[in-house]
Structure 1
Amino acid sequence: MLKFQNKIIVITGSGTGIGKAIAIKFAENGANIVILGRRREPLEETAKELERIISSVKSNSFVKIFPGVDVSDEDGVSKMFEDLKKSHGAVDIVVNNAGVSGPVTCFANAPISEFKSTVGIHLTGTFWTSSQAIKTMKPGSKIVTISTFFTEERPYEQRPYRFRSPYTASQGAKNRLAEAMSWEITDKKIISIATNPGPVHSDRIYKTVYPKAAAEFMRVSGFENLTPEEVESVNNDILPLLGEDEKTVKNGISQAADKLAKLKSITAESDIKKLVSTISALLAKIQQIAEKVQNNTSKMIADEQFLTQQQVAETVLMLSDDNISHILNGKVIPGDRVFYPVKPHIACSIPDVQPDFGSKITVFALDATDESDVIRAKHLAEKIEDAGGKTVILISKTSPKIAEERLAKFHSHVMDITSQENVKRMLNTATQKVGPIGNVIYMTGKVPQIGNLVDLSRKDWDGLVDKFINTPAIFMQESLGIFVPGGAKNPPLFKGKEGNMIIIGPDMPAGSKTTGVDRARVEVFRGALRPFATTVNQELSDVLKSRLRIYLVLPGSVDGTESSNDNIMKAISYLTSGKSVNNAEIIYYPDETRS
């Protein structure tokens, strides 16, 4: 028998690229293959290739396709596994491979709808596919999740991945989700492993990620006599031309020039020719930068080689081996193959400073889980006002009812904080009626007592993703809009601007009986916030040349020590003092004792 004879393998995002390579490798080893994706045509082409392989190896296996299934779609994924269970029984291996590039732009310019969509596909897609698969799995089954090396931490480091904030947030959480699942499904004897293969040769990198990143550099820095908005408009038209033949490129540039000429009300033939020349130079510059990014990345790898898609498929095949998967259960493999030098973004030691909040407003956004979160908000707001500051507290309507009563003495309002329009309106109102905003502090509240993540309903899971990822992103983006009006579309406006945004993330569980699974669940959401904060800060400091910062404060300790509101206040005092703005550290653990 072939190694995976009679096994049923489900591979998401498997019509093209890495997913297709994985499907081929399993088919060569005798497996039954289930492939799914949003587009029918590539799935059908891949199915034909898989059937030829099955015929050649004489495995008598089957291929089943599920076109039109987006992994973020609740009903589509659920019905797929119900169908498989009725028609073929238990699923043996699930490979979470589906993914998208997401918006490749500064966070300030990334539509929240696209932010949520990226998180939905990468993180929620992985969660929902896994949780539904578990219902059909028997002991010995495996879940293999493919993630990215960019979100993994080294001691006291957290890597940024500029222009990719929703991607890094969801991938960071996805790695931690794979770890948490290994704890939660151990009694079922199902194995969960993640793999971070590093840079892989793929059309997504060469035709999308690197060119879009290069194009964003040009939008931010400007190009010749084009405004940032004009550069962005032109980029949308010319990026698809990369790699095309000379005639196609020439015609595409001409069309882009004509389109821009109409926008600028340019009619003179000589001026249109200048636009053609400018756009040609812009495309050449984008290609040059994209190639430089690729080359620089390869220099950080020992052998200077990106992996092939077939090598990634070999890795997944290896991780699906019975013996190896038992050894590596709960691990993220490999941890890294890229030496990506970064500054030490993480700190545990916080300097003492005299609190001074001046005349500017500190806006709190509170999404309290329980009474202790409300007590914390009250404590911090009182300390700020005692130090001469003014506060406004925006309370999530899902917070405990005592929040409104306990915080009534402040400028406080109960609202739907998941609505971007509501957030925008309230921040503008606070500015107009109370005064200029200097600090925005978003409090996620604690992770609620929820039991196993894999047993959650889709509604409950979506609520957690909103609470700890999407809604903080909304507040941070709208805060940037308050600090730099119009800056999203006109990046030079960011230069030199000041302002502090602090996310107080979920506490590490406290108590002497805290378990590994308790910590792992909380780490899913802390794991999203760390790369998100680091990525956005690199954009704000290195790319946009501003003095705006998004800081992340993570209360509690790995040893179960109770978090201290005074320690959090000490961090806030320091982070809003202006003394931290030139430091690399933007993630703070105020209750950890490491120095």
Structure 2
Amino acid sequence: MFERIKGKTIFITGASSGIGKSIAIVFAEYGANVVISARRMAKLTEVEAQIKQTSPSIKVHKVAMDVSCEESVKSGFESLPSWAEDIDILVNNAGVSPGVELIKDLSSENMDTMLNTNIKSVIFVTQQVLPRMLERDTGMIINIGSIVSTTPRPTAGMYSATKFALSAITQTLRMETNDTNISVVEIKPGIIETEFNIVRNFGNRAASKKFYDAAPSIPPSDVAEAVLFAASRDPRCIVSEITVVPRGQAHPLFVQPKSSKNE
């Protein structure tokens, strides 16, 4: 069934690390050509090298792009090679959650960062891809959300709000394209061990490690496999939503501590 993505072109935001990087690698392994975008070109070069090592025949294009800036997004898409002009699968993966802050302490800077990166970017990037999909009457848009899109969590109120908004955007896109052959999917991860939590702790790796030492988590490759599954369905079938959590996380606020499993 995964052969259905062979020869397809996939565009991934936030592809320099974590979930986005894992998605690029697994899709390349199954024969998809990949466009990887992020702000850090050096990291994208590393991802490209890793893909070429395991999948040498795959086409890879790197785009240094700040998805929170509309002009940067437009410029990035203008730089695409001819083979990537028609995107078959768009994965809106880029997202951030800077800080562990109560609402009363939330800074306007962090609010703007999350609004721009987690919400506006999805619109900016989708607007560059969706018109061509509509012209061809085919394509798939996969938005990486979060399980906190239905249940907010203390100290992550603004991040939760942006993921609530992303779900609204995803559902709206699904309705607006319902009379076409375009599929719209939302993937909702739980606790995933990535650089995301380092950013959330303002670069404090020790605090991030302490969190992962205490709570169950899964690697980003598990999420990438869920994305691959959704993208490789028969055209008659749409897997519209997938929740991916580690064993021990029954709910955003109900997590079995690692230590209790060993007692």
| 1:49/1:335 CA distance change after superposition, 3 Å | closer
Instruction: Map Cα deviations across residues 458-496 of structure 1 (whole Å, 9 max, x no partner).
Output: xxxxxxxxxxxxxxxxxxxxxxxxxxxxxxxxxxxxxxx
- Tell me, in whole angstroms, the C-alpha distance in 1 between the residues paired with 2:60 and 2:208: 40
Structure 2 counterpart of 1:115: 111
| 1:135/1:195 CA distance change after superposition, 3 Å | same
Please give the secondary structure, in 2, of the residue aligned with 1:144: strand
Structure 2 counterpart of 1:143: 141
- Tell me, in whole angstroms, the C-alpha distance in 1 between the residues paired with 2:146 and 2:86: 29
- Tell me, in whole angstroms, the C-alpha distance in 2 between the residues paired with 1:204 and 1:335: 16
Structure 1 counterpart of 2:259: none
1:315 paired with 2:226, answer yes
Structure 2 counterpart of 1:397: none
Written as runs of structure 1 = structure 2, the 5 A alignment for 1:434-473 is none
Q: Percent same amino acid among aligned pairs?
A: 26
| 1:116/1:318 CA distance change after superposition, 3 Å | same
Q: Is the 8 A contact 1:81 1:136 kept in 2?
A: no
Q: Is the 8 A contact 1:32 1:61 kept in 2?
A: yes
Q: Is the 8 A contact 2:191 2:245 kept in 1?
A: no
Q: Is the 8 A contact 1:193 1:325 kept in 2?
A: no
Shift in Å at residue 324 of structure 1?
7.3
Shift in Å at residue 117 of structure 1?
1.5
Structure 2 counterpart of 1:332: 241
- The residue identity in structure 1 corresponding to 2:72 is G
| 1:287/1:113 CA distance change after superposition, 3 Å | closer
Q: Is the 8 A contact 2:68 2:116 kept in 1?
A: yes
Written as runs of structure 1 = structure 2, the 5 A alignment for 1:107-506 is 107-137=103-133, 138-152=136-150, 159-205=151-197, 207-209=198-200, 212=201, 240=204, 242=206, 290-291=210-211, 295=214, 297-298=215-216, 306-323=217-234, 326-328=237-239, 331-334=240-243, 338-340=249-251
Instruction: Map Cα deviations across residues 433-459 of structure 1 (whole Å, 9 max, x no partner).
Output: xxxxxxxxxxxxxxxxxxxxxxxxxxx
Instruction: Map Cα deviations across residues 34-57 of structure 1 (whole Å, 9 max, x no partner).
Output: 0010111101111111122222xx
Shift in Å at residue 310 of structure 1?
1.1
Shift in Å at residue 177 of structure 1?
1.1
Where does structure 1 differ by over 6 angstroms across 4 or more consecutive aligned residues?
none
Shift in Å at residue 76 of structure 1?
1.8
Please give the secondary structure, in 1, of the residue aligned with 2:224: helix
- The residue identity in structure 1 corresponding to 2:49 is K
Please give the secondary structure, in 1, of the residue aligned with 2:229: helix
- Tell me, in whole angstroms, the C-alpha distance in 1 between the residues paired with 2:199 and 2:245: 23
Q: Is the 8 A contact 1:175 1:332 kept in 2?
A: no
- Tell me, in whole angstroms, the C-alpha distance in 1 between the residues paired with 2:31 and 2:208: 42
| 1:73/1:319 CA distance change after superposition, 3 Å | same
Written as runs of structure 1 = structure 2, the 5 A alignment for 1:547-558 is none
| 1:85/1:185 CA distance change after superposition, 3 Å | farther
| 1:49/1:106 CA distance change after superposition, 3 Å | same
Instruction: Map Cα deviations across residues 199-236 of structure 1 (whole Å, 9 max, x no partner).
Output: 1122333x344xx3xxxxxxxxxxxxxxxxxxxxxxx7
Greater relative contact order (CA < 8 Å, ≥ 6 in sequence): 2
Shift in Å at residue 94 of structure 1?
0.5
Structure 1 counterpart of 2:63: 66
Structure 2 counterpart of 1:96: 92
- The residue identity in structure 2 corresponding to 1:93 is I
What's the TM-score, normalizing by structure 1? 0.39
Shift in Å at residue 80 of structure 1?
2.7
| 1:85/1:340 CA distance change after superposition, 3 Å | same
- Tell me, in whole angstroms, the C-alpha distance in 1 between the residues paired with 2:208 and 2:45: 33
- The residue identity in structure 1 corresponding to 2:176 is E
In structure 1, stretches of 5+ residues that fail to align are 153-158, 213-235, 243-285, 299-305, 343-595
Please give the secondary structure, in 2, of the residue aligned with 1:195: strand
Q: Is the 8 A contact 2:148 2:252 kept in 1?
A: no
- Tell me, in whole angstroms, the C-alpha distance in 2 between the residues paired with 1:341 and 1:333: 15
In structure 2, stretches of 5+ residues that fail to align are 254-263
- The residue identity in structure 1 corresponding to 2:63 is F
Please give the secondary structure, in 2, of the residue aligned with 1:183: helix
Q: Is the 8 A contact 2:223 2:244 kept in 1?
A: no
Range 36-45 or range 85-94, more displaced: 85-94
- The residue identity in structure 2 corresponding to 1:192 is V
- The residue identity in structure 1 corresponding to 2:227 is V
Please give the secondary structure, in 1, of the residue aligned with 2:132: coil
What's the TM-score, normalizing by structure 2? 0.84
